[in-house]
Every structure is written in structure tokens, then in C-alpha cells.
């Protein structure tokens, strides 16, 4: 989620619009510092969010460590990368809404933690609050930037909205299903 928000180019404005402080695990923070191959300085952008008090990095307590360990050990189809596992563990321990975009993490969260509220970055970007704050044209740019800059996943429930708001630009969004991109090509 932090990477997708950073890719929009307006992460701090988006978080400020909601009037919240994001929380992420120190595991996620450490992953951001390691990942320098995407052309953005996600670690620096996350540090700026933290400096603005829009993002707080939290360590695990003992319960969080146990949940995290259960999510990173086991068979490949039932385990997650450290960042997604840390996000779910932290959300569960603190009773927070979790923002996560990776399909496998969404499936595992639904299977193992059905009571946890899990949303996608697209739920934020497609929200009425963001639309009223930024306007349709700027939201289209935010979504496009997230899709092309971070290969942000878009849940199927938002495909119609994203297709409508992006118009022909959707053809350049390779993280979307080919069938969705081809509809734009044929218009």
C-alpha cells in the first residue's frame, strides 16, 4: 500500500484527506529501505510521511511475532512475503483496517482472519472522499500513476470505475487484466 500510494505522486495529500495516521510494521519499513530498484525512493517517501506524522512504524509485540511467523512459514500456497505477513499481523494485533493489494494476501486474510477489515489501495483512491477532494481528472491521474508506477492491483469491484475514469489510458496499465485493457483498445 505504501508503495502504491507513493507511486500516485500524492501520498501525503491522500493520507491527509482521510485525517488518519497510517501504521506499518518495522518489517515493512526495512523492506522499503532494501527495495531501491523501482526508480522511486520509497524509503525516503515513507520517511517523509513519517516526518509529517502521517505514517508510524510499529514493532511487533509477542502476539504479532507469532502471527507473523505463522504467515511466513509453511507451504508456498499458504505463506506470504514478509511485508504482507507483517501488515496482516500488525492489523490483527491492533484491530486496524488493513490496506493490502496482493491477491494471495487477500485470499489468506479472508481464509484465516475473516473478521479483519481488509481493503485495497483502490478502495481509497476510488472513494467518494478522494473524488470530492481531488476531482475526477486528478483521481484518474492518481490511479494511472499507481497502475503504471507500481503495478497496483485493482479488485474486480473497481474495474468499471477504473475503466471509465482512465478511458483510453487504460491500455497502458499492464497490471490490469488484458480483457479490461482490450475494451479500451476497441473503442
pLDDT(187) > 70: no
Mean pLDDT of 3-30: 95
Report pLDDT for 36. Answer: 59
What distance in Å separates the CA atoms of residue 46 and residue 55, rounded to the nearest whole number? 7
3-class state of residue 38 by DSSP: coil
Mean pLDDT of 115-143: 97
Estimate to the nearest angstrom the gap between the alpha carbon of 172 and the chain centroid. Answer: 20
Dihedral over Cα of 48, 80, 90, 111: its sign: positive
Report pLDDT for 128. Answer: 97
Evaluate whether 22 touches 96 at the Cβ level (below 8 Å): no
Helix (H) or strand (E) segment spanning residue 25: strand 22-25
pLDDT(137) > 90: yes
Average pLDDT, the chain: 93
Dihedral over Cα of 138, 144, 149, 154: its sign: positive
What distance in Å separates the CA atoms of residue 50 and residue 40, rounded to the nearest whole number? 17
pLDDT(118) > 80: yes
Estimate to the nearest angstrom the gap between the alpha carbon of 68 and the chain centroid. Answer: 19
pLDDT digits (tens, 9 = 90+) for 24-55: 999 999 888 876 555 678 889 999 999 999 99
How many Cα atoms occupy the beta-carbon half-sphere of 49 within 13 Å? 29
Report pLDDT for 37. Answer: 56
Angle at 105 between CA 101 and CA 108, to 5 degrees: 145
Length of the chain: 187
Mean pLDDT of 116-130: 97
pLDDT digits (tens, 9 = 90+) for 165-183: 999 999 999 999 999 998 6
Question: Running DSSP on this structure, what letter comes out for residue 158?
Answer: G
pLDDT digits (tens, 9 = 90+) for 71-105: 999 999 999 999 999 999 999 999 999 999 999 99
Q: What is the pTM of this model?
A: 0.91
pLDDT(66) > 70: yes
Report pLDDT for 173. Answer: 95
Task: Report H helices in the chain.
Answer: 2-8, 11-18, 26-34, 42-51, 62-72, 82-94, 103-112, 121-125, 128-134, 136-150, 159-166, 178-186
Amino acid at each position: 500500500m505504501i508503495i502504491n500510494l507513493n507511486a500516485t505522486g500524492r501520498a501525503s495529500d491522500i493520507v491527509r484527506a482521510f485525517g488518519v495516521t497510517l501504521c506499518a510494521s518495522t518489517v515493512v519499513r526495512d523492506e522499503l529501505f532494501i527495495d531501491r530498484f523501482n526508480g522511486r525512493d520509497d524509503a525516503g517517501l515513507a520517511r517523509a510521511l513519517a516526518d509529517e506524522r502521517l505514517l508510524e512504524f510499529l514493532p511487533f509485540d509477542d502476539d504479532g511475532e507469532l502471527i507473523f511467523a505463522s504467515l511466513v512459514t509453511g507451504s508456498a500456497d499458504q505463506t506470504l512475503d514478509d511485508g504482507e505477513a507483517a501488515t496482516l499481523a500488525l492489523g490483527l494485533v491492533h484491530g486496524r483496517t488493513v490496506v493490502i493489494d496482493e491477491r494471495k494476501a487477500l485470499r489468506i486474510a479472508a481464509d484465516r482472519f475473516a473478521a479483519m477489515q481488509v481493503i485495497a489501495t483502490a478502495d481509497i483512491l476510488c472513494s467518494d472522499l478522494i473524488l470530492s477532494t481531488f476531482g475526477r481528472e486528478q483521481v484518474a491521474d492518481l490511479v494511472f500513476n499507481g497502475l503504471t508506477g507500481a503495478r497496483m492491483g485493482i479488485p474486480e469491484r473497481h474495474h468499471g470505475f477504473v475503466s471509465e475514469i482512465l478511458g483510453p489510458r487504460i491500455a497502458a496499465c499492464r497490471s490490469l487484466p488484458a480483457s479490461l485493457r482490450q475494451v479500451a483498445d476497441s473503442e
